[in-house]
Structure 1
Amino acid sequence: MTRRSDPGNELDLEAICAKGWVERSDLTEAEFARAEAFYAAMREHDDRLGAVYARAAQMIEEWTGRTPRDVGSFGTRLNLEVSDLDLGIGFPPEQRPALFTALEGRADFLGERQTRFSTSRLVFAFCVAGVAIDLSALTEEDFAVACRMLDEIGQCMSYEERVCHTWIKHLLHAAGRLEEYAGWKLVTYARFCPEFNWVPILEKPGSP
């Protein structure tokens, strides 16, 4: 039996997750109206999160000498209300000991994650104005690929696709379907840059 996230939801979430994408035609007019209203509400947080992002980026550049980029859902405008910010930098693997020194006492080390093929990224965390910031230090090549991927998403993902994708993300999170939710967060990257294997950090409670 198909599970619904709420009585007003007309979507078969399992079928959409299995398909790996959502299109405007998957939603009825009423469902899309709800999705569009939700998306507009999320955009009301852009100024606040944008200010936090600017401050966090400045701090990272001061600490590391590297200019970061938003590599998460805020940068692609697919974030939920309480989403963390995910920033990335390119950093040579042979210089990683210097990175640990630069971030000591400033950010917590969350671990090393495989990124693609034989490469990995280091993940750190800190807070700015009550917003959790995840900082990924990728190889310079992986960072360049990630930037191209984000540019592709920015240029090619339509407004309707963003609305629909964010709505599915919201429904999965609200229903507590965390495994499907974690997978759904990555489908945009897989669609626009399939060669980049973005392995997420471990899910933190209340962290969309």
Structure 2
Amino acid sequence: MAAISERRWVDRGDFSDAEFERAGAFYEQMRVHDDRLEQIRTDAADLITEWTGHKPRDVGSFGTKLNLETSDLDLGIGYPVEDREVLHKALKPHTRFLGERKTRFSTSRLVFAFSVNGIDIDLSALTVEDFAVSCRMLDQIDVTMTHDERIAHTWVKHLLRTSGQTQAYAAWKLVTYARFCPEFNWVPIPEEKTGA
């Protein structure tokens, strides 16, 4: 596990047949809630579009099908920096402001939270440029990452989390983004949550 974490990638060949079978079964368990989460994501996206005039994209682990559970959804929009006060006013009646956080692109984003049908939604307002880069990165993950790689990645994530390796787990959540995005800044951000 240490070698895999250090290498920052994993694939089918890193596991025995028996372990990969267990990993595959675990991955299918994670997919049980997909239909419900997809509907909640659609409802949340509709609300965000209504409030902000901007259509969001799933920028979290559910969007890449690397989530461990149904804990929350992470959506993002591109928003002009100069209009951030307008955004605050638009979202204030509907969300909680969680603060301004550094991004992996050496800029900052605004983070808001609300819930839909018992699922927490985090909304990140990225710069327009960062959002475009994120969308390109997510498109690349969608078309390049194989099903077996998703199983393997999610299994390692699960093993790190259940073994209490908090720092390794937090770092592992980022390896897919770093692999597919040259602009991604690897430096850890302490205030980031360590959820699914």
**TM-score (ref. length: structure 2):** 0.94
Structure 1 position 202, deviation (Å) = 2.7
What is the rounded CA distance, in whole Å, between the counterparts of 1:117 and 1:104 in structure 2? Answer: 26
Structure 2 runs not aligned, ≥5 long: none
Equivalent AA in structure 2 for residue 185 of structure 1 = K
**Paired position in structure 2 for 1:202:** 192
The correspondence for 1:122, drawn from 110, 116, 122, is 110
Q: Give the Cα separation in 2 of the matches to 1:92 and 1:116.
A: 18
Q: Report the Cα distance in structure 2 between the residues aligned to 1:98 and 1:175, rounded to whole angstroms.
A: 44
Match of 1:179 among 149, 163, 167: 167
Q: How far 1:196 sits from its partner (Å)? A: 2.4
Q: Aligned equivalents of 2:26 and 2:132: distance in 1?
A: 32
Q: Does 118-127 or 159-168 show the bigger shift?
A: 118-127
- How large is the RMSD of aligned CA atoms in angstroms? 1.5
Residue of structure 1 aligned with 2:53, choices 48, 62, 65:
65
Percent of pairs with identical residues: 62
Paired position in structure 2 for 1:110: 98
Question: Aligned ranges for residues 104-183 of structure 1 at < 5 Å?
Answer: 104-116=92-104, 118-183=106-171
Q: Which residue of 1 aligns with 2:89?
A: 101
Aligned-residue offset at 1:116: 4.7
Aligned equivalents of 2:177, 2:105: Cα separation in 1: 16
Shift of 1:81: 1.7
Q: CA deviation at 1:72?
A: 0.6
Compared with structure 1, are the counterparts of its residues 169 and 117 closer, same or farther at alpha carbon in structure 2 (3 Å cutoff)?
Answer: closer
- Structure 1: distance between partners of 2:104 and 2:88: 22
CA distance in 2, matches of 1:28, 1:14: 17
Which of these residues, 70, 74, 94, is aligned with residue 62 of structure 2? 74
Equivalent of 1:41, from 26, 29, 40? Answer: 29
Stretches of structure 1 that go unaligned for 5 or more consecutive residues are: 1-12
Aligned position for 2:38: 50
- How far 1:165 sits from its partner (Å)? 0.2
Q: CA deviation at 1:24?
A: 0.8
Deviation at 1:83, TM superposition (A): 3.4
Secondary structure, aligned partner of 1:87: strand
* Alignment check: 8 A CA contact 1:86 1:133 kept: yes
Distance 1:146 1:179 in 2: 24
Equivalent pairs counted in the alignment come to 194
1:112, 1:94 → 2: CA distance? Answer: 14
Give the distance between the partners of 2:146 and 2:106, measured in 1 at CA: 33
* Residues in 1 aligned to 2:76 and 2:163: alpha-carbon distance in whole angstroms: 30
